[in-house]
Structure 1
């Protein structure tokens, strides 16, 4: 039995493991390489993962607690100065929208770093400065003695380069595919977002992928506004304000992912944007070096670095520490394979796919592309067949490897057809249906769904033949709507105090105007009744219509959020119209048709169609008119709400129906599973996808391209 001192040491070790940020715990796990399937995935509770790692380490098959302590200390020392803390400090900014954006970027950086394959590499990449790759504004006056690449000091962090006085926060990062450009950008973003969180005057780093830039006709400012709206739900007005005030620090990735004919034009657009004075005070751009060196135009930035390949010593030390001496011996004997794994991505893939690699077959491949394809095939097969304790599916209910591959191939091909690198479930459009017959099926199912709902719901409150009439009318509208072939996302809405106040003022204005006109053509009582009734009605509706505003920033926090927003807005819109018409119609009907009550109370005789001059019937008439008007109003509001939601292409209801029908057709084709979000989350557990909020992307562009090249 262990003594008290040993017990305290063991308890301290398990507590330290449990308190680690997810990224550091993942690093420890990858470095120790425990038996596959024993450690829960990154989506599980940190305490459960730490306990499982501790139990494995002290088991006969484990690495031992001493080795666990050693690796833990090394990871903590490596990350002591850089990286995001486990708990985000309280922001110092007062602007609520800026706080929301900081939270969104913080979460994005944290999630992407945690899910990055590069976390398997405990090596800080070497960098070489290459000033000749950028056109610095002062280069025309200042002659430099040497513009040859200069290696920076080992373990130099990207923040140190970015903050240098001569760079001034305008930097270009170059490198080969898989060399760690995006991860280096994320490392920088982590430090910059910490500053933005604690320093109110520091610009907020925001990551954008240039692959979505359309053409030279689209200015960088317009493109940024559309990306802010798509990615973070930022309104155009707020986005323009932020850009004008230089509140944002753009980090551009994916320059090389644009079609070749659009790559140099976007460089020219960025340069024009920076020279115009509309650009930011700081900017980072990432690109593959091979493509960038072909451009005649160079970015007007102050500095450029190129990520260096891993050295033989780094590879040998790391593979030996991972107990992969056999792999190192094979790589030493084959210069082509050795060159292939000098990038962090492919070294990570080699380690994670090691058990599925036949070294002899790998060596027999003739070209670099064949070797890379073999390596990625081995990685994919390993991730598909590995026994993973899924948080999404119960044991035995997980998709098969064949199904997973097929669905990911379809997704990769879809992403290849769009300029976006990230995937939103609610962003699926009818053009994703390749088969013409199935697209017709989608149109028909949407139209029939609209007609069925309209007839059923309308007949519930009206006569059957009127319900059929409304259903037919909406069916025709649905045909026109489907022809537009676009599903529009919905926003979150809220009631603003200013809008409500303006609505009340509108009601008071209408009370005075209508009351004055009614008094001029009738009696004082007519003026009071008409003015008060229509004034209250217009004030009520005005408060809602003027007060209903879209959020200035609406980040996607969970899968399919846009469609859930649409469904919620549909229910709220129909419910609001039904309730508003019920209250307003009942109130107006009771006052106007029950005006005999007021005539008796005020001693003035008022004649209306329903006037009852007998005092003991007065209150009964008022009650009857109130309920009669309320019933008429509720029916009218319900019908108007249905027609409104099922007829307009920009309203929530029709988009919900179109999305459901589209998902059903894609499921019928076999291109997506029934529960898509569950499947995509499952793929993040297998290190094939990354998830940030409600957005998904492949673990790396090379992995996406590999899936896109496969046959379905």
Structure 2
């Protein structure tokens, strides 16, 4: 690259290369090209413009043509912030941006394409000329937007043609006296035969030093890019598409058939959910009185050193604001492979183990996002995760202070780590110590004028909310948050004055509002022909059971394939799911053994021996605790560390069970098959005890079946049955012949299938059967959950479900059965 730079005599502070790979070289010779693709796109557009000035609207149309305007404006601000940091060591006025346009001072920079056009006579003296044109231009600009792709294709073609034609025109003239004729002809011939698809000459590395990248430590190895890509897709699908884009605010517009593009509508909704910002790094009394909107949260996050606490009343929009921040950060992470991935975590699960925050984050990535443990630990260790922690107030009050201490300790160990935390304001004020953050956002309650503006927008025929407020003044006192305003707008849209109830105590008005919302959503929406419909009583009852279970388990998100036997209160039912399921598996194997034994001895003797062995073995296995938890077998991984941690009781039990199984088979078929099956059983027990049950990852990135882990367990059981059965048959056939091979093959297949999925499936469906018998859950749980999502009682988050708001979950939890 030094050879190419020597072609030009003029020295500039910053050099922009358009030929070959698009790159920017700073004053000191370091490569300062932004890693974010949108930022590179903005620079390319500015560099190729006539005067270096481009209106902001034009940049949005080219780079964010598929985005909503507010989101596009927020993304543009983020990209401009990246560019300001890129040029922070260069001239102050080199790159500027105001409210209307963005400017690049082209007179103060060097462009390789301009030098070729203007200084060709100097270039003719150097044989490096053809290197400037031997490949495509603007090579490393990603065309993630169709409008930008079209613009880029046109610019590439025009730039290549302009450079080639200019050089050819100069070279075809009479050579100058100081230019070697032979070299002149070689250059001319080379330019005529340029292959546009050829790769550009790589730089020699002397000039492009590693820039000072503050996020360089988070760059992942190439083999980890798959996990990064999958995690990005999951966060986008689970939280942005599944929750933010299905938010009650948007659903309310649909239910009330409001015109999203009307000025009045935009004004009404733009006023909802405003907040103020305070910076703890400055004077604590210097809170700004300026109210901000959701689209500015990314900019505020950057201003507050990417360390933020979001506070507000219940239903004020804390989670919505957090997800707006996640959406803006996701776009940066998609453009820049070195930007940490914003991941939403629910703090309600922290109290389960009360571990350090980094260990808890690893657990959550593994269990909620199905990322393998090793990759989770590596990503956290390299600061590749930007935690967005929701629900500090949902942590049990007894554990909340310890949770804050864990967060603060993690922040002190990683001082520059980016993070955002959400909490109810009242619960946060009761904490004995504050969170360590650079600033906080306080979401304000709605004013009466904001509420009136909203009411004017929805005041159309058959809108009953105004009538309800006229009858019940206490109802309006509740409408201080976007949640209550949205719910009231739906709940009372079809009410007439003569059907409204009299005023009730304040606490009951809120419950009646939720009840009216539920009734409206169940009555107005006509179910599709192929979907189920549930009565109000059944819907409320099962949602009440769900809300109480989540409250007892201190969870916010319900995962169908993670249900445990602890949901059953009856002792007999609990025994059936835990030890009883083990007995079922043992007896099924024993029955097969006894029936096959009828070929070599009287059936009653073979059945008797097999069933006794099965009962004793199953009982001991149940006592050892193998059925106490339901562990989906999706992505199994043996670990010597896990095996070493197995208790002595389980190790002794494994030897005893091996003896019982081997003795039972030996009494029926002889010592050789008995010894082989006993040895196989012992190996299976050792292997099973060494397993780390990791949830599948890659195949769930885009498709999240609510019961996926149970289905995957069944598929793994089928694989284990096939592999173990075939291996056992071939091994036994070599030693004992056909008869022994059939026995060993069938028993090996059955035992392997039980260990690697069948037992888990039996436990899961036994649990669901008893919950249905107890009327604690519907028979088809998935259909009911999807029904509740359709009626806007729940959101779907990946393969889990969450109530649209904690207030609604609390309403169901305190209802009487």
TM-score of the two chains, using structure 2 as the length reference:
0.59
In the alignment, the residues of structure 2 paired with residue 110 and residue 692 of structure 1 have an alpha-carbon distance, to the nearest angstrom, of 9
SS in 2 for 1:691: strand
Cα deviations by residue, 1:330-360 (Å, 9 ceiling, x for unpaired)? 6489764334112111111111111466778
1:384, distance to aligned residue in structure 2 (A): 2.9
In the alignment, the residues of structure 1 paired with residue 144 and residue 582 of structure 2 have an alpha-carbon distance, to the nearest angstrom, of 48
**Paired residues of 2:578 and 2:627 also in contact (CA < 8 A):** no
1:462, distance to aligned residue in structure 2 (A): 4.0
1:296, distance to aligned residue in structure 2 (A): 3.0
**Paired residues of 2:582 and 2:759 also in contact (CA < 8 A):** no
Alignment correspondent of 2:480: 342
In the alignment, the residues of structure 1 paired with residue 691 and residue 348 of structure 2 have an alpha-carbon distance, to the nearest angstrom, of 38
**Paired residues of 2:579 and 2:627 also in contact (CA < 8 A):** no
**Paired residues of 2:274 and 2:444 also in contact (CA < 8 A):** yes
SS in 1 for 2:305: coil
Distance 1:443 1:174, change over 3 A: closer
2:259 aligned with 1:116, yes or no?
A: no
Match of 2:437 among 301, 310, 315: 301
Distance 1:405 1:691, change over 3 A: same
Alignment correspondent of 2:309: 172
2:342 aligned with 1:202, yes or no?
A: no
SS in 1 for 2:242: helix
2:530 aligned with 1:422, yes or no?
A: no
**Paired residues of 1:570 and 1:652 also in contact (CA < 8 A):** yes
Cα deviations by residue, 1:656-676 (Å, 9 ceiling, x for unpaired)? 211121111111112112211
Alignment correspondent of 1:562: 709
In the alignment, the residues of structure 1 paired with residue 555 and residue 144 of structure 2 have an alpha-carbon distance, to the nearest angstrom, of 29
**Paired residues of 1:454 and 1:470 also in contact (CA < 8 A):** no
**Paired residues of 1:645 and 1:653 also in contact (CA < 8 A):** yes
Q: Mapping of 1:643-682 within 5 angstroms?
A: 643-646=751-754, 651-682=756-787
Alignment correspondent of 2:536: 401
Q: Mapping of 1:625-636 within 5 angstroms?
A: 629=737, 632-636=740-744
**Paired residues of 2:560 and 2:706 also in contact (CA < 8 A):** yes
Match of 1:472 among 612, 615, 633: 615
In the alignment, the residues of structure 2 paired with residue 332 and residue 130 of structure 1 have an alpha-carbon distance, to the nearest angstrom, of 35
Larger radius of gyration: 2
**Paired residues of 1:102 and 1:197 also in contact (CA < 8 A):** yes
Alignment correspondent of 1:698: 803
**Paired residues of 2:631 and 2:693 also in contact (CA < 8 A):** no
Provide structure 1 residue ranges, at least 5 long, that are not aligned to the other structure.
Answer: 1-74, 496-536, 590-627
Alignment correspondent of 1:711: 816
Alignment correspondent of 2:793: 688
Please, which moves more after superposition, 252-261 or 479-488? 479-488
In the alignment, the residues of structure 1 paired with residue 284 and residue 765 of structure 2 have an alpha-carbon distance, to the nearest angstrom, of 64
1:652, distance to aligned residue in structure 2 (A): 2.4
1:243, distance to aligned residue in structure 2 (A): 0.9
Alignment correspondent of 1:596: none
1:308, distance to aligned residue in structure 2 (A): 1.8
In the alignment, the residues of structure 2 paired with residue 411 and residue 549 of structure 1 have an alpha-carbon distance, to the nearest angstrom, of 26
1:704, distance to aligned residue in structure 2 (A): 0.8
Cα deviations by residue, 1:111-152 (Å, 9 ceiling, x for unpaired)? 1123321223662345443537xxx4xx5xx6x284345223
Count of aligned pairs: 533
Distance 1:191 1:217, change over 3 A: closer
Please, which moves more after superposition, 551-560 or 222-231? 551-560
SS in 1 for 2:243: helix
In the alignment, the residues of structure 1 paired with residue 585 and residue 483 of structure 2 have an alpha-carbon distance, to the nearest angstrom, of 49
Alignment correspondent of 2:229: 99
SS in 1 for 2:782: helix
Q: Mapping of 1:489-500 within 5 angstroms?
A: 489-492=632-635
Q: Mapping of 1:561-640 within 5 angstroms?
A: 561-586=708-733, 588-589=734-735, 629=737, 632-640=740-748
What's the RMSD between the two structures over aligned residues?
3.7
Cα deviations by residue, 1:507-563 (Å, 9 ceiling, x for unpaired)? xxxxxxxxxxxxxxxxxxxxxxxxxxxxxx9xxx9xx99999957846581111121
In the alignment, the residues of structure 2 paired with residue 201 and residue 705 of structure 1 have an alpha-carbon distance, to the nearest angstrom, of 40
1:199, distance to aligned residue in structure 2 (A): 1.1
SS in 2 for 1:131: strand
Distance 1:217 1:694, change over 3 A: closer
Match of 1:162 among 298, 301, 319: 301
1:163, distance to aligned residue in structure 2 (A): 2.0
**Paired residues of 1:128 and 1:307 also in contact (CA < 8 A):** yes
SS in 1 for 2:322: helix
1:585, distance to aligned residue in structure 2 (A): 4.4
Please, which moves more after superposition, 558-567 or 309-318? 309-318
1:156, distance to aligned residue in structure 2 (A): 5.1
In the alignment, the residues of structure 2 paired with residue 88 and residue 668 of structure 1 have an alpha-carbon distance, to the nearest angstrom, of 52
Higher RCO structure, 1 or 2 (CA under 8 Å, sep 6+): 1
Provide structure 2 residue ranges, at least 5 long, that are not aligned to the other structure.
Answer: 1-66, 77-142, 147-218, 254-265, 639-679
SS in 1 for 2:387: strand
**Paired residues of 1:489 and 1:563 also in contact (CA < 8 A):** yes
Cα deviations by residue, 1:409-434 (Å, 9 ceiling, x for unpaired)? 11111111112211111111111112
Distance 1:357 1:267, change over 3 A: farther
1:632, distance to aligned residue in structure 2 (A): 3.5
1:653, distance to aligned residue in structure 2 (A): 2.5
In the alignment, the residues of structure 1 paired with residue 276 and residue 489 of structure 2 have an alpha-carbon distance, to the nearest angstrom, of 30
**Paired residues of 1:454 and 1:474 also in contact (CA < 8 A):** no
**Paired residues of 1:243 and 1:280 also in contact (CA < 8 A):** no
Please, which moves more after superposition, 266-275 or 470-479? 470-479
SS in 1 for 2:351: coil
Alignment correspondent of 1:321: 457
**Paired residues of 2:583 and 2:615 also in contact (CA < 8 A):** no
SS in 2 for 1:205: strand
**Paired residues of 1:179 and 1:344 also in contact (CA < 8 A):** yes
Q: Mapping of 1:100-499 within 5 angstroms?
A: 100-108=230-238, 109-119=240-250, 120=252, 123-124=269-270, 125-131=272-278, 136=280, 139=281, 144=283, 146-153=285-292, 157-164=296-303, 167-214=304-351, 217-277=354-414, 281-324=417-460, 327-328=465-466, 331=469, 336-355=474-493, 364-367=503-506, 369-390=507-528, 393=531, 398-440=533-575, 442=577, 446=581, 449-459=584-594, 461-463=596-598, 464=603, 465=606, 467-480=610-623, 485-492=628-635
In the alignment, the residues of structure 2 paired with residue 668 and residue 549 of structure 1 have an alpha-carbon distance, to the nearest angstrom, of 30
**Paired residues of 2:276 and 2:444 also in contact (CA < 8 A):** no
SS in 2 for 1:183: helix
Distance 1:361 1:341, change over 3 A: same
**Paired residues of 1:246 and 1:280 also in contact (CA < 8 A):** no
**Paired residues of 2:294 and 2:321 also in contact (CA < 8 A):** no
1:633, distance to aligned residue in structure 2 (A): 3.9
1:303, distance to aligned residue in structure 2 (A): 1.3
In the alignment, the residues of structure 2 paired with residue 107 and residue 407 of structure 1 have an alpha-carbon distance, to the nearest angstrom, of 27
